Structure 1
Amino acid sequence: MNRWIKFTIIHFIFAVFTTTLYADVGGTVFRDVPVNGTALNTYGVKQSNEPGVEGVTVTAYYNSTSSSTTTDVNGAWSIATSGDVRVEFSAWPIYLNESPDGGGNIAVQFVSDGDTGVDFALHEPSDYSNTAEPYYILGRQQTGTATNNSNPGVEAVHYADSNLSSDFCNEAGDQGIGPVPTVSAEVKDVGSSWGQAFQKDKQRLFLAAALRRHTGLTSVGAGRVSVLDYSAGVGSVTNSYIDLQDVTPANGGTDIDLGTVCRDTSCKDDAGNTGIAADYVLPDNVSDPSVDLDAYGKVGKMSFGDIDFDQTSNTLWLVNLYQKGIISVDASGDLSNLSTATKQYLIEDMTNAPSCTNGELRPWALTIHNARGYLGAVCDESEVADGVNDGNKTSSDSRALVLSFDLSDPTTGFTVELDIDLSYKNGDSESFYSWKTWSDDYNRVDTTHWFSEYNQAILGDIEFDENNVMYMAFINRYTMQASFQNYHPVSGNTDADENILSIADLLRACHESNSTYSLEGTGTCTDSNHDGYFLYDRGGDGTKDYSGGALALLKGSNQLLHLTTDPSRTGANTNDDGSKYLSTAGVNTLSTINGGVDNWYSIMYTNPQDGDDCDSGKSHSGYNAKGSSLGDIELITAPTPVEIGNRVWIDANNDGVQSPDESGISGVDIELYSADGATLIATVETDANGYYIFSNNPDGTDTTSAKYNLTSLQPNVAYIVKLPNADGASKQSE
């Protein structure tokens, strides 16, 4: 051949279409989401629920000149041109990548005359799912030490599962009819936990320790982060852990400290302690009550709060409650060298850290969204003396805050996204619904009802949907300070009659055109479908504000998974008798369209008083009835497919740039090798237009020019592409 054959290799295919153009061209740059309701979307093809991406640069090259524009708020663009046009997309947001689609979605396009459908798809790696019904993970908590407790500690639930697990009976004594969850780990493997984060490319779940009174940590202590490997599926999980206690951060500062709690005889005589072993020691038997005196005032103040994972940088992020720090761990490797992989940023040292009046800042929630971290915290108003406020209700000094920060450099400080006055509930006709100031004094607890209550706000979880609507779930701190049928936090107490009600809120905030957020009831966020709020958060017994403090959301599903007490559809879409679902714990699937209940699943019955023969010997003991029996919710989804491919074409003018009039070459053999060139992974042959692709997508269909399900093809790994049958200077030797 007397002409050069050229090719390029990129992560996603740049397909080329050649024709003549004599009119304006235009299209839409949009953000792919995995599903549209219950239907799986096709990546690279715009669906009705996929939002446009604003501010992307589009450049058209034609007749030896060029013109540029940027996409509008809806992702639309249009450029006046003439002749054949090369269109290039660039400068999209750093948190978005080109969407995989097997060949059609390309950042460089040659378009037809007057083509107004020149679209370009982007996606956020954490959004991707190859199913509309993934599994989600729940951590189950049980009182007593974690030692030798072989009951389920972590379980996988299928997204569509409904009703009460058939492992249990309901309040009326009827056998549950729901599927039984798959056990991923036992209590002894993980201990008391809360925050969960999933690393998609390695298919492993991080599960962080959390302090609950009466519920034991593992022997590793408050710094344990369990690592569960799901690469072989939810039914075949291996378990390991890392310990962040005493790790020296790579960015300097004091060693990481997650705090300690006295739970054995060795510390009973420490300064300030009573000297009575029974005040501190946890029993091995889950049916035996305990005092657990030291833990009462340390709940929400030590170990970890929430955690999340940044799929783009392969970084695990955690909230250190004891030092009030944000921890990052580079998880791209095997986690064997924590001293170089770990950094910590002390919240109160960061620029624009909020100050609190009459109290302290208490962080917990953490989520990653659009290349920023979002930290949820409250000003606890803990310095207000007993009785100063009406029934110790909060004043305007108690606030819930959502603070965002730059993941690439948290030292640049916080942006305050929301500042919520927590006294908003003080006018409720039932005083026990109101938030109270934080306190470690048990004497403030109201025991005049059938349950005891002292509701203290923890902002537990934050989620965003594809339209940047923010959802916030609160934890009631008292549900972690007390547990059903346990002793009071008083030295020597033997009254095993603790009983609690998990009163906490579920809120929504809308993203405004000026990039600020408006709390529901303000701005454009005015829908109030349920008890004055958008989202339904009543339990099966009719009690409102039943938030367990955890959320999960599959983008495009129009649904929000919400941890709750007594999940059921009562009062929403059916006439179910909600009393059958008293003292159960699980998830309500809420509609983000109307706030109602689309589905519900109870993972267990939690009342140890009401064991029934139909429970097949399942123990109810050690579960926290209407308190905190479960932890965070985390979806288990596949990583974005890796694609290697491009086009082989005749470079007629020998400039190395694909021009509209330069055609592709069919029938060219393309070989993919490992980085060392020693292992041939796959071979394809270019199609009629010169295109080829290699992919690890298990759902693709092989053709002569495309090979899928190449399991050895992994992200962030180098490979070699060879053209063994090319002639001339392009020929590559074997």
Structure 2
Amino acid sequence: MRTRRTCVARAAVLAVALAGSGLLTAPAAFPQSGDGTVTVRVIRAVDASGAWTPALEPGLAGVKVTLTGGDRVHVEGTTAADGTVTLTPPPSREHSGKYRVRVVNPKPGVLFPAFASRQGLDGAPNQLSSNEEFVDLSDGRNISYTTGLWSPGDYCQKNAPLVTTCQNTTWGGGAQRTLVSFPYGARGQDGVDVNVTNIATDAQTGTLYGIAWDKADRRVFSSAAAKRTTDYGPGGSGGIYVTDLAQKRTTLFTTVPDAGSTAHGPGTDDAFLAVPGKESLGGLKVTDDGRDLFVVNLNDRQLYRYDATAATVSAPKAVYPVPDPGCPSAGDWRPFGLGLQDGTGYLGGVCSGESTGKVSDLRAIVLPFDLATGAFRQAVLDQPLDYPRQSTVGSGPCDGAGWFPWTNTYPTTQNGQTCSGYRAQPEPELGEVGFETDGTMLLSFRDRLADRATGQAAAGAAVGEVLSGGDLNKACPANGTFVMDTNNGCGLSPRGTRFFDTSRFGFHHNADYAGMALSKVETTIGTSGYDPDNTAFGYGTSFLQRADGRPDPKPGLRLNPADVPAPFGKGASMGDLEVLCDQAPLQIGNRVWYDPERTGIQKPGQRPAAGVTVRLYDGSGKLVGTERTTARGEYYFDDSNVDGGLKPHTRYTIRLDNPSDYAEGGPLYRWVPTRHDVGDDPFINSKGIAPPGGRYPERVLTTGGPGENDHTLDFGFRHCGCGH
């Protein structure tokens, strides 16, 4: 039988041995040389590579970062505009040089840890560390590394499919295509350089504008559009359609009530001249979780919410009145486009200037709204649209140099001159709202006059007479709101200067249709418009550089045959443009460490457990993934090392159950699980639980939603004590 004196003696010997191995850190008995600094860069990640791509992943400003030392040192800092912050520990007589660094998530539940690299700190600065890192700054050592946060809604795969609407001059339904798909990288001529996939026909949908992608069940929603000399589909003015891409089947999803009753007429459809922008449907969006579909009813100017998980629905879940932002007349407020970012909805519209006829009364408005309640907040953008604007036509008496108030008539004069030949008189509709990764806002404008003009197939129509005058603008934060580039925002001047060059065919400016495809893993942004490949009377997609707004050197994709003019000439022959991004992948894991103090809490200076086998089991007990901890004690599970991929909302068990790890010579020899779930800080406590009668620690968990990475699954080990 061991005596108490023997145990005490052995414990003393063990303490000396552990101190010599670095597992215990003794306070310094005399002043040491000063510690160095740690510089942390926090970026907003957009992919699952675990590597930093500076051109696509900007620094996050205003993020708190803390440095904590074993001698109760606590230093805080906030990242600057470039996402970096440098922390310097204070002078101390008892410092160890070992510190914990933490990035404090500013938006929990909206932002999540970015994918971490297996290299972590050892791969700095281009390989991403986790948000919780341990550094050694002793002897003046300076360390720099990069870590990241991400919003799962930002994720997209490279060269994702695009879907757009083709608007035709057809009546009563037909075989002409209304929805098409092609890869993001497709360029050239449909049928010559690339084969575009036809998804739906005019008989199935009629004329469309809005597109929304439900990445959860991989269905495409599309919505009716009011456009002269082209008819609605089976759902009429309020029709929303859904396309199952796997089954290649398009059906009516629902009919939005009270969307307008004006009927199309024969020939030039004169009775429909004033209808576009005032009846039928505008923007369409599905939330990132795939639960809700939002659509703007242009006729009653309300926001409708539908169950996006259903095959069909008969009524909305909710209807939200859109507040008037204070236009000169109530009838001037024209909501249209939608956007989603970081769990918030955005509705865009214009004060049309129709009641006064004054350009000075034209304004662009963006209202945020709560996705759960539909409650609108104060406008984050309220900008005049009377800035100088280039000529759309290029010359002539009615060249469309500017934005013009909405009218119900067809323009015959402009600025006191009689119109002749080509004419443009752009009437603004705010078709879509988006956000760049750096937080700047994107505004995609459609020209209402292009939808009030006749198509080339209409009897008595003037072929190709009207030029569409839409635009793509950027707005940048300033004093709590956003200021458009054309109003001296984003550091641009003089007034009227645009960030994006939306010119086509050399001299036609303002050639966008409001379709906007922003994939945050691409260096370009796609737009729908005319002359995409610098040939006359073509329509399709063009691409602009996100970094400087210049046209992509490669020509765009032309959708109409080279010998067949666009149905509406240089007017609008397309609607929305949507990127079909996959759901964000998942990553779980983090760190295994030695806890000689037996507290169950990770402390600076404690040694990582390298070479430990970590196994992942699915709900049936099947082994689906195996990892070994790195030199820094880290491990991660994701699609790269889990059979069938790591699935969201799924039950798994992590076990450290390799017998050789616990045998003599193994990394866990004479170590047992430490205390688990100690305290209220999940980032630094141990999660390993040894089941009753079991030797090996495990953790049962259910993963979060797509992209909701969890890097808190740490396992600590204490020495087994005197009896071993």
Same fold (TM over 0.5): yes
Secondary structure of residue in 2 paired with 1:419: strand
> Which residue is 2:166 aligned to?
140
What is the correspondence of 1:358-397 to structure 2 with a 5 Å cutoff? 359-384=331-356, 394-397=358-361
**1:423 Cα deviation from its structure 2 partner:** 6.8
> Which residue is 2:362 aligned to?
398
State yes or no: 1:96 paired with 2:74.
no
Alignment partner for residue 210 of structure 2, among 176, 195, 216?
195
What is the correspondence of 1:60-99 to structure 2 with a 5 Å cutoff? 60-65=67-72, 66-81=74-89, 82-83=95-96, 84-94=98-108, 95-99=110-114
Per-residue Cα deviation, 1:582-626 (whole angstroms, up to 9, x for no partner): 11101221234444321332433379xx65xxxxxxxx6x82222
Q: 2: CA distance between counterparts of 1:18 and 1:100? A: 29
State yes or no: 1:673 paired with 2:618.
yes
What is the correspondence of 1:498-513 to structure 2 with a 5 Å cutoff? 499-512=464-477
Q: Given that residues 468 and 510 in structure 1 are in contact (C-alpha distance below 8 angstroms), is that contact kept between their aligned partners in structure 2? A: no
State yes or no: 1:343 paired with 2:351.
no
Q: Given that residues 164 and 604 in structure 1 are in contact (C-alpha distance below 8 angstroms), is that contact kept between their aligned partners in structure 2? A: yes
**1:682 Cα deviation from its structure 2 partner:** 1.0
Alignment partner for residue 415 of structure 1, among 370, 379, 401?
379
> Which residue is 1:661 aligned to?
606
**Count of aligned positions:** 609
**1:313 Cα deviation from its structure 2 partner:** 7.6
Q: Given that residues 351 and 363 in structure 2 are in contact (C-alpha distance below 8 angstroms), is that contact kept between their aligned partners in structure 1? A: yes
State yes or no: 1:652 paired with 2:616.
no
> Which residue is 2:303 aligned to?
326
**1:243 Cα deviation from its structure 2 partner:** 0.8
What is the correspondence of 1:589-600 to structure 2 with a 5 Å cutoff? 589-598=543-552, 599-600=554-555
**1:443 Cα deviation from its structure 2 partner:** 7.8
**1:378 Cα deviation from its structure 2 partner:** 1.5
> Which residue is 2:44 aligned to?
31
Q: Point out which structure has higher relative CO (alpha carbons under 8 A, 6+ apart).
A: 1
State yes or no: 1:714 paired with 2:715.
no
**1:445 Cα deviation from its structure 2 partner:** 8.0
Secondary structure of residue in 2 paired with 1:605: coil
Q: Given that residues 463 and 552 in structure 1 are in contact (C-alpha distance below 8 angstroms), is that contact kept between their aligned partners in structure 2? A: no
Q: Given that residues 191 and 209 in structure 1 are in contact (C-alpha distance below 8 angstroms), is that contact kept between their aligned partners in structure 2? A: yes
Q: Given that residues 44 and 58 in structure 2 are in contact (C-alpha distance below 8 angstroms), is that contact kept between their aligned partners in structure 1? A: yes
**1:457 Cα deviation from its structure 2 partner:** 1.9
**1:141 Cα deviation from its structure 2 partner:** 1.6
**1:526 Cα deviation from its structure 2 partner:** 5.5
Structure 1 residues 19, 240: CA separation in 2 closer, same or farther (over 3 Å shift)? farther
Pairwise CA RMSD: 3.7
> Which residue is 1:276 aligned to?
none
Aligned AA for 1:323? D
Aligned AA for 1:184? I
State yes or no: 1:538 paired with 2:503.
yes
Q: 1: CA distance between counterparts of 2:332 and 2:361? A: 10
Structure 1 residues 74, 408: CA separation in 2 closer, same or farther (over 3 Å shift)? farther
What is the correspondence of 1:109-148 to structure 2 with a 5 Å cutoff? 109-113=133-137, 114-131=141-158, 133-145=159-171, 147=173
Aligned AA for 1:481? R
Structure 1 residues 521, 322: CA separation in 2 closer, same or farther (over 3 Å shift)? closer
Alignment partner for residue 549 of structure 1, among 507, 514, 528?
514
> Which residue is 1:643 aligned to?
587
User: Percent identity over the alignment?
Assistant: 22
> Which residue is 1:268 aligned to?
none
Structure 1 residues 227, 372: CA separation in 2 closer, same or farther (over 3 Å shift)? same
**1:361 Cα deviation from its structure 2 partner:** 0.5
Q: 2: CA distance between counterparts of 1:584 and 1:468? A: 33
> Which residue is 2:722 aligned to?
none
Secondary structure of residue in 1 paired with 2:375: helix
> Which residue is 1:11 aligned to?
none
Structure 1 residues 129, 395: CA separation in 2 closer, same or farther (over 3 Å shift)? closer
Q: Given that residues 486 and 495 in structure 2 are in contact (C-alpha distance below 8 angstroms), is that contact kept between their aligned partners in structure 1? A: no
Secondary structure of residue in 2 paired with 1:222: helix
Q: Given that residues 426 and 435 in structure 1 are in contact (C-alpha distance below 8 angstroms), is that contact kept between their aligned partners in structure 2? A: no
What is the correspondence of 1:1-400 to structure 2 with a 5 Å cutoff? 22-34=35-47, 42-45=49-52, 47=54, 49-65=56-72, 66-81=74-89, 82-83=95-96, 84-94=98-108, 95-101=110-116, 103=118, 104=120, 105-113=129-137, 114-131=141-158, 133-145=159-171, 147=173, 149-165=174-190, 167=191, 177-230=192-245, 237-246=248-257, 257-262=258-263, 279=265, 290-311=267-288, 315-329=292-306, 331=308, 333-334=309-310, 342-348=317-323, 353-357=325-329, 359-384=331-356, 394-400=358-364
Per-residue Cα deviation, 1:131-156 (whole angstroms, up to 9, x for no partner): 2x333211112222463x23322222
Q: Given that residues 171 and 230 in structure 2 are in contact (C-alpha distance below 8 angstroms), is that contact kept between their aligned partners in structure 1? A: yes
Structure 1 residues 225, 717: CA separation in 2 closer, same or farther (over 3 Å shift)? farther
> Which residue is 1:491 aligned to?
none
Q: Given that residues 444 and 471 in structure 2 are in contact (C-alpha distance below 8 angstroms), is that contact kept between their aligned partners in structure 1? A: yes
TM-score in terms of structure 2 length:
0.74
Name stretches of at least 5 consecutive residues in structure 2 with no aligned partner.
1-6, 8-21, 26-33, 90-94, 121-128, 660-671, 674-688, 695-724
Secondary structure of residue in 1 paired with 2:450: helix
Structure 1 residues 237, 43: CA separation in 2 closer, same or farther (over 3 Å shift)? farther
Q: Given that residues 18 and 110 in structure 1 are in contact (C-alpha distance below 8 angstroms), is that contact kept between their aligned partners in structure 2? A: no
Aligned AA for 2:375? T
Secondary structure of residue in 2 paired with 1:684: strand
> Which residue is 2:12 aligned to?
none
Per-residue Cα deviation, 1:47-66 (whole angstroms, up to 9, x for no partner): 35532212222222212423
> Which residue is 1:684 aligned to?
626
Q: Given that residues 422 and 467 in structure 2 are in contact (C-alpha distance below 8 angstroms), is that contact kept between their aligned partners in structure 1? A: no
**1:240 Cα deviation from its structure 2 partner:** 4.3
Per-residue Cα deviation, 1:30-85 (whole angstroms, up to 9, x for no partner): 11245xxxxxx943436355322122222222124233333233222233334221
Alignment partner for residue 453 of structure 2, among 458, 482, 490?
482
Secondary structure of residue in 1 paired with 2:644: coil
Structure 1 residues 144, 679: CA separation in 2 closer, same or farther (over 3 Å shift)? farther
State yes or no: 1:459 paired with 2:425.
no
Alignment partner for residue 561 of structure 1, among 526, 532, 551?
526
Secondary structure of residue in 2 paired with 1:672: strand
Q: Given that residues 141 and 631 in structure 1 are in contact (C-alpha distance below 8 angstroms), is that contact kept between their aligned partners in structure 2? A: yes
Larger radius of gyration: 2
TM-score in terms of structure 1 length:
0.73
**1:347 Cα deviation from its structure 2 partner:** 0.8
State yes or no: 1:731 paired with 2:708.
no
